[in-house]
Structures are given as structure tokens and as C-alpha cells.
């Protein structure tokens, strides 16, 4: 990132922040000595978050047949890792909910694409029997967070970037570098470092277009890259960085194929058709998150 741009970012006083209660909840969930009762009580102090967790536990996103009417019961059904990642995803969305929207950039479509990518990443990892702890879902939700920062704090440049990308029919990331001096991956990575996020999620945001640069997190970042493309090809949301490509030619696909040989047997067309229900779940989660 150019020094001048970084200095401009550092000077932004009202940059988005994650609500403190979200980090407290996550820290408590990460503490093996924390009880379900204690975690439930902490969540219940936030009425909005409590309502959303109960809505998620009772939604088609989960598919539980009986009514879930307490947070503690929701924690049992959803699992602590899933709740932790849902709390983080909701907190991230909430941090940017009041931002002014740029005329040519649909925040609604952006978040639909983000939650859609997260859900596809979860489904894709399960399909390959890759056991993660939900970081693939959160990684999908936050992978393009740098675009929101550009949209909010550099609106004139962002309008120019959008126009330049459309006029020249090139990926947005190329226009970002040419006109801003950095791309949304660099800016998003800077933001997550400022927020002291885990290194694996910083890697997702920083390298989701170039997963080979992600060092020990290449597998996770590759899943996000493929899921982002699948989400766009499926027609959910907004992303000008993946206009036309062949899944099997993606850098992330090649990385996963080397480490997971069974990937070669995956029927991409069939898998894409199977995503209908998963995308419905993602849009349901997004609807709950913004309620």
C-alpha cells in the first residue's frame, strides 16, 4: 500500500469498529472454562443479538424442527463455534450498516454476495470433508470488506474506479490499483490488522485473489476464492472481479487439487445446481442480520 494512502487511512477518526460486546462473547466462547450458562447470560445482555440468534436457530438456515426459545438452547443446537462465527458476521455487518451508500455501488447486493460466498464456502468445505471451525463462513462474509472502506472514505475515487472498470471491462481490482494505489485486499487486510483479527481471516481478506501468497492458510483462502466465483456465477450479489473464468483454471482450484486429490472427481455443474437451497439459507441469514 502506498504510504500516502496508508497515512490517509490512519487519520480517519471515525473508522468502523466492532462492538465490544461481540469480542467479549467471542473471547468467552474461546475460553474452555466458560459455561453455556455464562455465555448465554452475556449474549442476553444484547437484546438485538439475542433476537437474531433465536431467529437463526428457528430458521430454515438451521432446519431444527422444534421451537428454540432460549439462548442456551440455541447455543446447544447451533454449537459454540457456529454461534461465535455468527456473532462475528452480524457484528461486522452492524459496523457498516449506517454508512452512506455510493450511487453506483449497491450495498444490498454487496452483502448478499458476501453472505452467499460464506454459505457456499461452508458447503464446499463440507463437500470435500474439510473440517474447519466456521472460519470458512466468516472468511466468505468478510473477504471483500476493503471495498466498503474505499466506498465510504474515498467515495469520489470509488466512483471513478467503478466507472473505469466498467468502461474498460477490467476487474475492479485493476482499477483500484491504477486509480487509488492499492486494492481492496490490501485495505481490508489493513483494517483487520487494526481490529486485531486472527491471522487466518487476515489472509483470506488479503489474498483471496492470489491464494498462493497466503502461506500456511492457502487451503482456506482457496476455498474462499472458489466460493466467491461460484457465488457470482450463480448470480447472487455483486462482484466485478470475477466476470468470466473457468473454475478449474483458478489458482485456488489448483492448490486444492494438489492437497485434496478427490477434488478432481467433483462435478462442478452438479454442485452448482445443488447450491439453490444453500443460497436460500444465506439470504435468510442476511435478512436476519440486517433486521
Same domain, 50 and 111: no
- Of 79, 98, 117, which one is at a domain's C-terminal end? 98
Averaged confidence pLDDT in the chain: 87
DSSP string, 120-165: HHHHHHHHTT----SHHHHHHHHTTHHHHHHHHHSHHHHHHHHHHH
Band (13; pLDDT cuts 50, 70, 90): low
CB crowding 1-37: b at 16 or more within 10 Å, else e? eeeebeeebeeeeeebebbeebeebbebbeeeeeeee
Same domain, 67 and 157: no
Say if residues 85 and 195 touch (Cβ distance below 8 Å): no
- Cell 437451497 locates to 277
Same domain, 68 and 153: no
Distances (CA, A) of 115 to 27, 52, 57, 65, 231: 23, 15, 17, 24, 10
Say if residues 132 and 124 touch (Cβ distance below 8 Å): no
Same domain, 55 and 123: no
Decide if pLDDT at 100 tops 80. Answer: no
Which pLDDT score, from 0 to 100, does residue 205 have? 97
- Of 73, 98, 123, which one is at a domain's C-terminal end? 98
Say if residues 180 and 161 touch (Cβ distance below 8 Å): yes
Band (241; pLDDT cuts 50, 70, 90): low
Same domain, 112 and 87: no
Same domain, 56 and 124: no
> Mean pLDDT over residues 37-51, rounded?
94
Same domain, 93 and 105: no
Range with the lowest mean pLDDT among 8-17, 40-49, 216-225, 270-279?
A: 8-17
Same domain, 60 and 196: no
CATH of the domain at 212: 1.10.3210.10
Range of the domain at 243: 3-8+101-289
- Of 98, 123, 148, which one is at a domain's C-terminal end? 98
DSSP string, 165-217: HHHHT--HHHHHHHHHSS-HHHHHHHHHHHTT--HHHHHHHHHTT-GGGSGGG
Same domain, 52 and 151: no
Same domain, 119 and 164: yes
Q: What is the pLDDT of residues 165-201, one digit of tens each?
A: 989 988 889 999 999 999 999 999 998 988 888 899 9
Same domain, 94 and 105: no
- For the chain, the domain total comes to 2
Which pLDDT score, from 0 to 100, does residue 203 have? 97
Decide if pLDDT at 240 tops 60. Answer: no
Same domain, 89 and 193: no
CA distance 268 to 253: 11
Amino acid at each position: 500500500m502506498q504510504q500516502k494512502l496508508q497515512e490517509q487511512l490512519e487519520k480517519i477518526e471515525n473508522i468502523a469498529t466492532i462492538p465490544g460486546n461481540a469480542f467479549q462473547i467471542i473471547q468467552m466462547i474461546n475460553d474452555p472454562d466458560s459455561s453455556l450458562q455464562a455465555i448465554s447470560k452475556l449474549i442476553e445482555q444484547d437484546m438485538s443479538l439475542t433476537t437474531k440468534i433465536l431467529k437463526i436457530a428457528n430458521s430454515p438456515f438451521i432446519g431444527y424442527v422444534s421451537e428454540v426459545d432460549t439462548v442456551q438452547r440455541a447455543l446447544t443446537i447451533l454449537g459454540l463455534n457456529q454461534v461465535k462465527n455468527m456473532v462475528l458476521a452480524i457484528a461486522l455487518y452492524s459496523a457498516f450498516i449506517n454508512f452512506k451508500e455510493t450511487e453506483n455501488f449497491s450495498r444490498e447486493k454487496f452483502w448478499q454476495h458476501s453472505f452467499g460466498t460464506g454459505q457456499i464456502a461452508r458447503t464446499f468445505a463440507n463437500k470435500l470433508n474439510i473440517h474447519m471451525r466456521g472460519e470458512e463462513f466468516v472468511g466468505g462474509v468478510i473477504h471483500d470488506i476493503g471495498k466498503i472502506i474505499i466506498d465510504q472514505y474515498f467515495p469520489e475515487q470509488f466512483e471513478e474506479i467503478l466507472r473505469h472498470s466498467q468502461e474498460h471491462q477490467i476487474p475492479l481490482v485493476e482499477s483500484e490499483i491504477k486509480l487509488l494505489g492499492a486494492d481492496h485486499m490490501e485495505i481490508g487486510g489493513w483494517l483487520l490488522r487494526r481490529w486485531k483479527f486472527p491471522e487466518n481471516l487476515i489472509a483470506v481478506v488479503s489474498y483471496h485473489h492470489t491464494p498462493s501468497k497466503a502461506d500456511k492458510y492457502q487451503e482456506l483462502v482457496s476455498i474462499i476464492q472458489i466460493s466467491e466465483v461460484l457465488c457470482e456465477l450463480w448470480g447472487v450479489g455483486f462482484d466485478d472481479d470475477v466476470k468470466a473464468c473457468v473454475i478449474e483454471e483458478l489458482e485456488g482450484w489448483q492448490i486444492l487439487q494438489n492437497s485434496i486429490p478427490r477434488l478432481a472427481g467433483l462435478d462442478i455443474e452438479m454442485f452448482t445446481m445443488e447450491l439453490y437451497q444453500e443460497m436460500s439459507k444465506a439470504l435468510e441469514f442476511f435478512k436476519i442480520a440486517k433486521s
